[in-house]
Amino acid sequence: MELKPFLEVQKKRPFLIAGPCSAETEGQVMSIARDLAAQGNVDLFRSGIWKPRTRPGMFEGVGSEGLRWLKRVKEETGLRTTVEVANAHHVYEALKFGVDVLWIGARTTVNPFSVQEIADALRGVDIPVMIKNPINPDLELWLGAFERLNKVGITRLAAIHRGFSSAAKTQYRNVPHWEIAIELMRRLPNLPIIGDNSHICGNRHMLEEVAQEMMDLNFDGLITEVHCNPDEAWSDAKQQITPDRYQELIGNLVLRAEKDAGFLNSIEALRVQIDQIDNELLNLLGKRMGFASEIGEYKKRNNIAILQTGRWNEILNSAVQKGRQRGLSDEFVIQLLTAIHQESIRRQTLVMNEHEATEAAMAAK
Ligand code: PEP
Ligand code: MN
């Protein structure tokens, strides 16, 4: 794939993109842009004009009207601007108003017809385009989007890693699956990658930690949602931060050395993945114990013994078999499952005793 430098990304690290999730009013856009420009921690001003929303009836963006405000941002603060485009009409409108960079959102990358429509609208146009990962953890689909854009002549491309949707409840709004970003870097080493800490976290308290993880993985930049009054934001209120907080977050970042050939095997990259897996394991164990307590309730109601030896044997035998297929020793699997089983029994015993204690108290009344 023929790639040309994406703005000054190669020269300036981290490359910083900030601005509100959505443009709401002219005053809101101008206030955030002025604050960010004055602080000097932004290379590109982001703002959603057309918003893909999960349910109809939510705020779907101000539309082309907001493009006039972005033009004003550029004229008055000198900041370059970027908006999300999801179809050919959006592309034509954004180009008409002189938007500097386009981005394709996660809900669009997922659909090859939509990506192709955007690519066709951009044939013969030289504009930088950023592509967010698709909402599902599918690297090929993400790569396919870069290929579609590149085929029509777009050579200034960048990736935005915004995490992946998951049915499991986790601490993230969108699970990072760092291994997918790392594999993208391996497959397209010249493609800049920008971390969207806002949409991965979905909250304010983890933003800094995730931004640092992105720096530790040698991401080229960050895209963060900044709002003058985050609590009152019309979209993504929980994850937006004030310009002052943003300034502080950027100031606290520890920057590591540039990407080098050894990076993809570096201990840092591996550790980040291990931490991620440990988090997932703990989340799953928490969930499993919740079910154990529910089973405890059922057994109590139906007067069934806690320990079901037949069931325990089945679990253990099947786990040992599955462990073997995954290169885990029998001894390790037995130890692990025994610890989990013991905790499960402890939980169920707790549930039963709790009820007995309540019943005894009731009887005593
Ligand atoms: C956004 O950047 O506000 C947005 C809609 O993001 P995503 O496409 O990552 O959901
Ligand atoms: Mn958003």
Ion ligand 2: protein residues whose beta carbon lies under 5 Å: 21, 236
Pocket test for ligand 1, best of 62, 82, 84 (most atoms within 8 A of CB): 84
Q: Percent helix, strand, coil in the chain (nearest 5)?
A: 55, 10, 35
Is residue 2 one of the residues assigned to a domain? Answer: no
Domain that holds residue 245: 15-252
Overall average pLDDT of the 73-79 stretch: 98
Domain boundary at 252, 276, 300, which?
Answer: 252
Look-up of token digits 């603060």? 77
CA distance linking residue 127 with residue 206, whole number of Å: 33
Instruction: Indicate if 267 and 344 belong to the same structural domain.
Output: yes
Residue 128 inside a domain? The answer is yes
Same domain membership, residue 130 and residue 22 = yes
Torsion of CA 206, 207, 209, 211, to 10 degrees: 160
Query: What pLDDT, in 10s, does the model give residues 230-286?
Result: 999 999 999 999 999 999 999 999 987 766 656 666 777 788 788 888 888 998 999
pLDDT score, position 363: 62
* Terminal Cα-to-Cα distance of the chain (whole angstroms): 79
Structure tokens at 110: 């997922």
Residue 5 domain-assigned? no
**Highest mean pLDDT, choosing among 81-85, 312-316, 335-339:** 81-85
The verdict on 165 and 288 lying in the same domain is no
Q: Are residues 226 and 355 in the same domain?
A: no
| Ligand nearest, relative to CA of residue 107 | 1
What tens digit of pLDDT does each residue of 164-204 get? 999 888 899 999 999 999 999 999 999 999 999 999 999 99
Provide the 3-class DSSP secondary structure of residue 164: strand
Q: What is the CATH number of the domain that holds 328?
A: 1.20.59.10
Question: Per the omega criterion (within 30 degrees of 0), is the bond before 14 cis?
Answer: yes
Same structural domain, 216 and 276: no
- Mean residue pLDDT of the chain comes to 92
Q: Say if 8 falls within a structural domain.
A: no
Q: How far apart are CA 238 and CA 206, in angstroms?
A: 11
Whether residue 141 sits in one domain with residue 82 = yes
Quick check: CB of 132 below 6 Å from ligand 1?
Answer: yes
270 alpha carbon – ligand 1 mean position (Å): 28
Q: What is the pTM of this model?
A: 0.80
CA distance 209 to 249: 9
Quote the CA–CA distance of 329 and 219 in Å, as a whole number: 36
Query: Do 114 and 194 belong together in one domain?
Result: yes
Amino acid in position 341: H
Q: Is 105 touching ligand 1 by the criterion CB < 6 Å?
A: yes
Length of the chain: 365
Contact 186, 171 (CB under 8 A): no
| Closest ligand 1 atom to Cα of 236 | 3
Q: Which residues contact 250 (CB under 8 A, 6 or more apart)?
A: 16, 41, 222
Task: With CA atoms as reference, report the closest residue to 160 among 291, 286, 6, 274.
Answer: 6
Q: Do 355 and 213 fall within a single domain?
A: no
* Ligand closest in space to the Cα of 52: 1
| Per-residue confidence (pLDDT) for residue 353, from 0 to 100 | 82
- The reply to whether 170 and 148 lie within a common domain is yes
Same domain, 109 and 45: yes
The per-residue pLDDT for range 141-164, each reduced to its tens digit, is 999 999 999 999 999 999 999 999
Residues 58 and 206 in one domain: yes
Whether 4 is covered by a domain: the verdict is no
Domain end residue (candidates: 221, 252, 283):
252
Determine how β-strand 101-104 pairs with β-strand 129-132.
parallel
Count of domains forming the chain: 2
pLDDT higher than 90, residue 306: no
Residue 3 lies in a domain: no
Nearest residue by C-alpha to atom 2 in ligand 1 = 21
d(CA 293, CA 344): 8
Residue 362 has pLDDT above 80, yes or no: no
Same domain, 235 and 107: yes
